[in-house]
Structure formats: C-alpha cells, structure tokens
Amino acid sequence: MDSFFARYKNPLVLIAVLLAQTIGLAVQVKRPDTGERDGHHVRMVRLWAVSIALPFERIVHGTGRDIRGAWTNYINLLHVRQHNRDLEQEVAQLRLEQVALSEDAIQGHRLQALLEFQRHYISTTVAAQVIGTSGSDQSRVIYIDKGSANGLKPDMAVITPDGVVGKLRDVFPHTAQVLELDDPSSGAGVVLESTRILGILRGTVAGGIQINNLTADSRIQPGERVLTSGGDQVYPRGLNVGTIESIKPDPEHQPYMAIAIHPATRLEQLEEVLVITGTQTTLPAQMQKDLSGAAATAEAARAASTATERLPGIEDPAHPTAGAANTLVPPRPLPALHSDRFTPGATPPAAELKPGGDGATSTSGSSPGSAP
Amino acid sequence: MATRSYTSRREAEQYAFHPAVALLIPLVAVVLQATGSKVFPRLALLDLPLIVTIFFAVARRSPVAGTLTGAAIGLFQDAFTNQPIGVNGMAKAVVGYMAANIGVRLDVENTKTRALLVCSFSLVQSILLYLIRSRLLGVQGLQVLWLHELLRAIANAAVAIPVFFVLDRVKRQE
C-alpha cells in the first residue's frame, strides 16, 4: 500500500510550492527596516533577472535604433526640409513669446526672493533610452539603459520635453526601473493650472491616470492643464502632467470625483527620457542667460519704439490738418507783367469768334497789350 | 473488453526536453515578452510565459514537473514587474499543475483542444491573480476588467497555436 506522501505526491508538491511563495509574499509585503522598497534578497533576485535580460534588451534596442536611423537619416528624407522650416518658425515664435514673458518672469523671481519663497529648478538631467518593459499590462514599468553608475538614485523624477513620465523605482548598476504615472501603485502631487486646486494623481487598473481626491467643483473644467505641485518632494513644481479629459462621480469614493487626465507624454511609446538628477533653488545659469537676453531684446525693442515716436516726421502730428487727404494742388502762376492774348481772360469766348476774324480782340475789361 | 484506441495510446505518451531547451525556452519567452512589449505595446495583452508553461505541463504530463515549471517561470516573470515576487509564481504553479493533470486525461495534440485549453487557463490565471492581489496582498479598490481578460484569453489562444507547432519540434519522446 502506498504511503500517504507517495499517494498524494502531486497535490502535496503543489501545496508546498504555494506555501513557500505565500511566505515569500508575506516577507516582501512587510516593509524592510532600511526604508527601501525591496529587501536585500528580493533585490538580488530582481538584479539577477534584469541582468539576464539586459544584454538582449540592449541588442534589440540597438538593432531597432540602427534600422530606424538608416531609415530616417538616409531613406526617409522627404519631409526633412519642411520639418526643418516648421521647427525654425516654431523656434522664432517661441523666442518672441519668451521676450514677452521674460520681464514678468524676472519680476516674479524678484518678488519670490523678497518673500523668501523657495522653488526648486531643474539643474542637471541624464538622458536615457528606454530598452524594455515589464511585459505585463498590470505592471506599468519601463527599463532604461542608465543606472547607479550614471548617478541615478531611487525616487528621481523621469520626464520628457512633453511632460512627466514617472519616477525611478529600482536602480541597478547599469539599468533602472521607472514606475510610470499610469501604474496603479503610482502617485503624484498635482495642481490645476488656472484654478490652482491641489490634488493627488493616481494610476488606474485600466492604464489611465486620474485625480480622485477632489469633490465636485464648477471651476474644474475639461481641457484644463494639470501641473506638478512639488508637494510630493519627487517632481519639481510646474512640470506638465496632462489635461483634464473628463469629470465623473466616483461611485467607489463618494463624494469625490474621478477626474480623468490625458497624459501629456505618450507613455506607451517612449524612446528617450530625461532623469532629473539635480535641482536647485536659484535659476539655472542657462535660464538666467536666456531671460537676460530676452529682457535685453525687449528693452531694445521698447527703446526703438520710443525713439521712432520722437523723430520728426513729414507731417507735424500737432498740426490739425495733419492726416487730411493728400491732394496735390498745382502752384498758381504769377501774374504777367504785360498781358497778351495768352493772359487768362484776354481771349474772347468762342461764341463771339468768327472764322478768319481777329481772335486777339478782347471783350473783357483787360486791355490787350501791344504785339511784341 | 476495453479496447485501446489510438487516442488513448497518445494520451499515454510523455515527452521530455533537452535541459538546454527546458531552460532556454522559458527564458526566451519572458525576455521576449518584456522586450517585445516595448516595440509593440499591444503585446502586453499576451502572456507568452503562460503559453510556454501550459506547453511544458501538457507535454510532460507530470503534475510535479508542471507545478515546478510554472512556479519558476512565474517567479522569473515577477522579477521584471514592480509587484512582489511570487504573484505570477503562484498563479502559474496552479496552472501548470492543472494543465498537467488535464494533459494526462485528454488528447492535447488536437488544435482545438489546445486553443480551448489555453483560453481556459488564461481566464483561470486572471481569476487567480485577482484573488492573490485582493486577498493575499490586500490591494484596495482592485477591479477586474472581464472583457479585457476575455480578449486576453482569446489572444493567448490564437498565439498559442503556432507557438505550440514550433515547440513540438523540440519534444523528445520518452
């Protein structure tokens, strides 16, 4: 007769495996005393797994980049010139806008300094390529090709020129895991641009992002921009998060609303990101230089406008007739010293003239002059 | 008198794999899932490691091997996510166990059977993952999008058929 263990070997193995993993889950859920997200052994397991996959991810990413580069740099040049022109126009437009806003910005900074108001500006960033993902739509993380060897640390903000992507979760020597904003475990402190209402942004199971800690407010409208508030000490203040897409009651969190946000960055098609490695409370040097240049340009434009107003013009602005219609009046001829038949008024009317007659006879009061 | 039919003979067949194949194919499946999702974001809907787990479990027809294979593949898959390690390990261990038990009783060489098997186990995994996250991990406000999970099951079944045909070439009969 078979023993108990031999008879029920299969279910016993299953129960043992499940029990071991349940214990492992319980150990992981209890947060480590060191304050890190994962314990030492869990981190080692993740490091081994990522180290196995990293070379393949780099090869695939490099191959794809080379193919895309060959296509865009040599084959697909049809629209490069037009794209270049469009970009130049956009840059010129942005420069003009910068000139207009520079003075307000400088005044704002002066006022902030007076009030001893501290704001953190981005000082240093590290560019990184996205080389992989978690492979699951229930865990929205991406892997980048930079790690602790490049100065990266956990909880550093990750952005693109369009907006916020997320933050670093796990950092390994040559790669790092980025937790995207649309992951259910992700969160960020945000502020609505026009109404300045503070909120907390969270990812949803469906892969979206929403604010779910605000009550109904008529001031909150779709289309309003959402920025980072800086209150979470992770994302610097003022970074673009997205725009409000819809506002609906949240049945699971009454009386709060579910404010869906359309992210500014296309989180599912990321190629390059910037990791914010340093912030400072003063304006970065490049930004100061740009603002100074823009302010100088604005000052020069104002001075030119003032000088133009003061220069003498063809018409005296103080004269009442200035601005009247420009009609050319021919100068009146001087009166003749000795009148003759060409003198105005010396020629008789045509009705009194006879063919073959002397046309020099004058019927007007003026006496005909002697023939020269 | 019981007759032995051709299908019952096929049911008794067990297959083995070269150790390198047994190690590389799950590795490739997980890495392909992680890397491919970056190139094709829609690929995140699929679960290639699940397909490989089911294949090995029904081919070996050993519940112990199916359990251990599923657990190992799931743990490796968990290492790439931000979830605690063991969530997919537990789910795929159960799927591997069940797939191996069914593989002993049914003819799993048939294409329709394979598709139905993968579709069913994909839904079973979705339920298990929901239970693990909500009951064991205590995640609040967890919602399951059943239509999305159904689409995932159908997509897994569709991809599994050609994958199984390719993997059939590496089987070694015991």
Q: What is the pLDDT of residue A85?
A: 84
Confidence of residue A42 (pLDDT cuts 50, 70, 90): confident
How many angstroms separate the CA of residue B130 from the nearest CA in chain A? 11
CA-wise closest residue to A274 among A133, A348, A357, A164: A164
Taking the CA atoms of residue A56, residue A60, residue A63 and residue A66 in that order, the dihedral angle to the nearest 10 degrees is: -120
pLDDT confidence band for A368 (50 / 70 / 90): very low
Q: What is the mean pLDDT of residues A99-119?
A: 66
The answer to whether A52 contacts B80, with C-beta atoms less than 8 Å apart, is no
Task: Return the sign of the alpha-carbon dihedral for residues A161, A165, A166, A172.
Answer: negative
Q: How far apart are CA B94 and CA B106, in angstroms?
A: 18
Q: Does residue A156 lie within any of the structural domains?
A: yes
Residue A35 to residue A100: CA distance in whole angstroms: 47
Stronger pLDDT, B73 or B11, i.e. the higher one: B73
Q: Verify that A32 and A107 share a domain, yes or no.
A: no
Q: Which residues pair with A166 in a beta bridge?
A: A158, A180
A18·B83 Cβ contact <8 A: no
Task: List the domain range (segments joined by +) for residue A110.
Answer: 79-118
Let me know if residue A6 belongs to a domain: no
B82, B137, B144 ranked by CB distance to A25: nearest: B137
Q: Where are the beta strands (DSSP E) in A196-325?
A: 198-203, 209-215, 225-228, 240-249, 256-263, 272-280
Rounded to an integer, the average pLDDT of A42-66 is 83
SS (H, E, C) chain B: CCCCCHHHHHHHCCEECCHHHHHHHHHHHHHHHHHHHHHCHHHHHCCHHHHHHHHHHHHHCCHHHHHHHHHHHHHHHHCCCCCCCCHHHHHHHHHHHHHHHHHHHCCCCCHHHHHHHHHHHHHHHHHHHHHHHHHHCCCCCCCCCHHHHHHHHHHHHHHHHHHHHHHHHHCEEC
Backbone angles phi, psi at A134, to 5 degrees: -75, -20
The Cα–Cα gap between A142 and A91 comes to 31
- Percent of chain B, pLDDT > 70? 91
**Residue where a domain stops, chosen among A69, A95, A118:** A118
Lowest-confidence segment of A3-12, A44-53, A315-324, B133-142 by average pLDDT:
A315-324
Residue A147: alpha-carbon gap to chain centroid = 27
Q: Are residues A203 and A171 in the same domain?
A: yes
| Residues A59 and A197 occupy one common structural domain | no
Residues in chain B with CB shorter than 8 Å from the CB of A210 are none
Q: What is the DSSP string of A251-277?
A: TTSTTEEEEEEEESS-TTS--EEEEEE
Among A62, A97, A118, the domain boundary falls at A118
Residue A219, φ and ψ in degrees, nearest 5: -75, -25
Q: Shortest CB distance from B44 goes to which of A49, A60, A136?
A: A136
Other CB atoms closer than 10 Å to residue A363's CB: what's the count?
A: 11
Would the pLDDT of B27 be above 70?
A: yes
Contact of A259 with A199, CB cutoff 8 Å: yes
Average pLDDT score, chain A: 80
Read off the pLDDT band of B5 (50, 70, 90).
very low
Per-residue pLDDT at A278: 86
Task: Assign residue A189 the CATH number of its domain.
Answer: 2.40.10.340
Residues of chain B neighbouring A13 (CB-CB closer than 8 A): 63-64, 67-68
Compare A332 and A33 and report the one with higher pLDDT: A332
Whether A52 and A191 map to the same domain: the answer is: no
Asked, for residue A361, whether it belongs to a domain, the answer is no
Instruction: State the pLDDT at residue B158.
Output: 95
Long-range Cβ contact pairs of A5-14 (< 8 A, separation 24 or more): A9/B64, A10/B63, A10/B64, A10/B67, A10/B97, A10/B101, A11/B63, A13/B63, A13/B64, A13/B67, A13/B68, A14/B63, A14/B67, A14/B93, A14/B94, A14/B97
Interchain contact, A9 vs B64, CB within 8 Å: yes
Q: What's the mean pLDDT in A8-25?
A: 91
b/e per residue, B75-93, with b = 16+ CB within 10 A? bbbbbbbbbbbbbbbbbbb
Q: Do B63 and A52 lie within an 8 Å CB cutoff? A: no
| A73 and A86 share one domain | no
**Among B49, B64, B52, which Cα is nearest to B170's?**
B52
A261 — pLDDT class (breaks 50, 70, 90): very high
Domains detected in chain B: 16-173 (1.10.1760)
- How large is the average pLDDT for residues B19-42? 88
Enumerate the β-bridge partners of residue A249: A257
Position A97 in a domain: yes
CB contact under 8 A, B86 and A25: yes
| Residue B155 confidence (pLDDT) | 95
Helices (H) and strands (E) in chain A, counts: 5, 12
Per mean pLDDT, which range of A341-345, A347-351, B142-146 is the poorest? A341-345
Report the pLDDT value the prediction gives residue A327, as an integer from 0 to 100: 61
Domain for residue A286, yes or no?
Answer: no
* Shared domain check, A149 and A46: no
* Average pLDDT, integer, range A50-68: 82
Per-residue pLDDT, averaged over B42-50, amounts to 91
Instruction: Inform me whether the pLDDT recorded for A93 exceeds 80.
Output: no
> Hey, which bits of chain A come out as E strands?
121-133, 141-144, 157-159, 164-171, 176-180, 187-192, 198-203, 209-215, 225-228, 240-249, 256-263, 272-280
How many CB pairs (< 8 A) connect A and B?
144
Q: Mutate which of B38, B125, B131 to disrupt the A interface (most A C-beta within 10 Å)?
A: B38
pLDDT computed for residue A349 by the predictor:
76
Residue A350 maps to a domain: no
Could you give the CA distance from residue B80 to residue B157 in angstroms, rounded to a whole number?
24
Q: Which of B80, B126, B148 to mutate to test the interface with A (most CBs of A within 10 A)?
A: B80
CB A278 within 8 A of CB A253: no
**What's the pLDDT score for residue B19?**
86
The structural domain count of chain A equals 3
Of A280, A307, A335, which residue constitutes the final position of a domain?
A280
Q: A328 vs A55, which has greater pLDDT?
A: A55
The better pLDDT of the pair B6, A343 is held by: A343
Q: What is the pTM of this model?
A: 0.73
Chain A positions in Cβ-Cβ contact with residue B145 (cut-off 8 Å): 205-206
Do A101 and A174 lie in one domain? The reply is no
Between A6-10, B121-125, B160-164, the lowest mean confidence (pLDDT) is in A6-10
Burial B127-162 (b: 16+ CB within 10 A, else e): ebbbebbeebbeeeeeeeeeeebeebbbbbbebbee
- Overall average pLDDT of the B61-65 stretch: 90
Higher-pLDDT residue of A83 and A330 is A83
A135 chain-B contacts, CB cut-off 8 A: 30, 33-34, 36-37, 44, 77, 80-81
pLDDT digits (tens, 9 = 90+) for A196-232: 999 999 998 888 999 988 888 888 889 999 999 988 8
- Per the CB < 8 Å rule, is A25 touching B63? no
Answer whether B133's CB lies under 8 Å from B142's CB.
yes
Query: Taking residues A320-339, what's their average pLDDT?
Result: 64
Q: What SS3 state is found at A243?
A: strand
Q: What is the mean pLDDT of chain B?
A: 87
For chain A, what percent of residues have pLDDT higher than 90?
Answer: 28
CB A242 within 8 A of CB A261: yes
State the best of A7, A14, A256 to mutate against chain B, taking most chain B CBs within 10 Å. A14
A200 in the same domain as A214? yes
φ, ψ of residue A320 in degrees (nearest 5): -70, -25
Q: Which residues in chain B are contacts of A206 at CB distance < 8 A? A: 145, 148
Closest by CA position to A130, among listed A265, A273, A266, A268: A273
Give me the residues of B, 25-84, that contact A with CB < 8 A. 27, 30-31, 33-39, 41, 44-45, 47, 63-64, 67-68, 71, 75-77, 79-84
pLDDT tens string B95-108:
999 999 998 888 77
Binned at pLDDT 50, 70 and 90, residue A118 comes out as: low
φ/ψ of A267, rounded to 5, equals -70, -20
Query: Is A35 inside any structural domain?
Result: yes
Distance in Å, alpha carbon of A60 to nearest chain B alpha carbon: 8
Residue A14 lies in a domain: no
**Which tops the pLDDT comparison, A29 or A323?**
A29
Q: Give the residue from B170, B53, B51 showing the smallest Cα distance to B43.
A: B51
- pLDDT at B129 exceeding the cut of 80: yes
A136 and A149 part of one domain = yes
C-beta atoms of A135 and B68 within 8 A: no
A44 and A145 part of one domain: no
Nearest to residue A265, comparing CAs of A146, A344, A165? A165
Mean pLDDT of A34-44: 71
Do A176 and A31 have their domain in common?
A: no
Q: How confident is the model at residue A255 (pLDDT cuts 50, 70, 90)?
A: confident
| Residue A142 shares a structural domain with residue A270 | yes
The lowest-confidence range among A39-48, A169-178, A187-196, A267-276 is: A39-48
Q: A35's torsion region: left (phi>0), alpha (psi -120 to 50) or beta?
A: left
